[in-house]
A = this chain, B = another copy of it.
Amino acid sequence: MDNVQTNDLQAMGRAAKAAAATLAQLPDPDKQRALNVMADAVIAATDTILAANQQDLDGATIDPRFLDRLRLTPARVQDMAAGLRQVAQLPDPTAQIDRGWVTEDGLTITQRRVPLGVVAMIYEARPNVTVDAAGLTFKSGNAVILRGGKEALHSNQALATTLRHALTSIDLPADAVQLITDPSHALATELMHLNQYVDVLIPRGGAGLINRVVQTATVPVIETGAGNCHIYVDDAADLEMARKIVINAKVQRPSVCNAAEKLLINASVADAYLPVLAADLRAHGVELRGDDRARAIVPDMVAATAEDWDTEYNDLIMAVKVVDDVDAAIAHINAHNTKHSEVIITNNLAHSRRFQDLVDAACVYVNASTRFTDGFKFGFGAEIGISTQKLHARGPMGLDALTTTKYEIVGNGQVRA
């Protein structure tokens, strides 16, 4: 049967390379068709997928907060299929020549965009990542090796088997999508060292997972996700605008990486404004932790510890610090942020320029919520993740982040003098 997969990573790597060679040459209409066939197959397999998911839910011993991430419903299965159809419609990121020129020696050089080859993903208990990742890597011409959390193993197996059958049904290589079904750490570690076959490894999940991958992997990694995001309310802020943005960035979806975790407030507005803002945040269920100056203004805040300034809560908690000016805000942010998304609320142009120039982060905002750091909101039509490193891709990553380039050079006999 074509869906029997091995957990021999060398064999999986070879199979992925072979599938990637086919995918790299596949015209976009064929990729569109395949993604739609995959979507149909997911819908057709809804019962099987939900039954497998129920097995995972029955066996789950994880934090109930995470059960919701693990749970699939008919609507969520439909969302996964819809996601595949959406990705099908996006422009093919490899159908592009970035630039070209003729050198002094008369060589014609073109820089073409090509797939990376083999992408590996290590993620946690969200089974939708299995389908998302398969769709995005397929559209960009890459084979994928997936390693999801053991909590979602049955769900992931059902999903991967469905996608592999769909590929086989239209004579495409099933090994474009492979799932590691042995959930041991040893195999994840081996995947992180599969340099011969893996072109990039993208971890998706919490800080613990990402750190472990960064510390362990010898294959190239794109670090994603951790977001200790700050909002600085300047002395020249529109305070009503600031209120709306702070509430939105903290409260609208506190569990995600682009939620705000820290509030820095200019001393000249803090006395009058912080009590109002604090009351509003608390009315939204937010626990506040303050530095000494913030607690002098709102005395019933918990005292923030040194650790707080470096913590991504992913929860309805916010630490508050009073700062003297924009430079103090910038210094604090650069010392504590995770290079994700940072905001200044101000109507002072010089302050806004200084903040955007000097804050070191993927996304630096003036007068908007951190929650816009998102491939869809940026208009990319897709999101592989949000890179918090500086190499290759920084900030929200669309399909382009799953490609590289190749120089194609044509001469007429040139040799080097």
Interface residues of A (CB under 8 A from B): 21, 25, 101, 103-105, 107, 109, 116-117, 195, 199-200, 214-215, 218, 220-222, 238, 241, 244-245, 247-249, 252, 334, 352, 356-358, 360-369, 371-372, 377-379, 389-392, 394-395, 404-416
Contacts and interface: CB of A to CB of B under 8 A. Distances in A.
B415 A369 contact: yes
Contacts of A109: 378
Contact of A200 (B365, B390, B411, B415): B390
Nearest to A253: B416
A379 B409 contact: no
B199 A214 contact: no
- The 4 A-B pairs at the shortest CB distance, nearest first, are namely A368-B411, A248-B415, A371-B416, A390-B404
Given A364-B408, A365-B409, A214 B241 contact: no
A101 B25 contact: no
Given A372-B105, A378-B103, A366 B406 contact: no
Contacts of A371: 415-416
A367 B200 contact: no
Contacts of A222: 391
A327 B117 CA distance: 19
Given A391-B404, A416-B372, A411 B367 contact: yes
Nearest to A368: B411
B361 A406 contact: yes
A372 B414 CA distance: 9
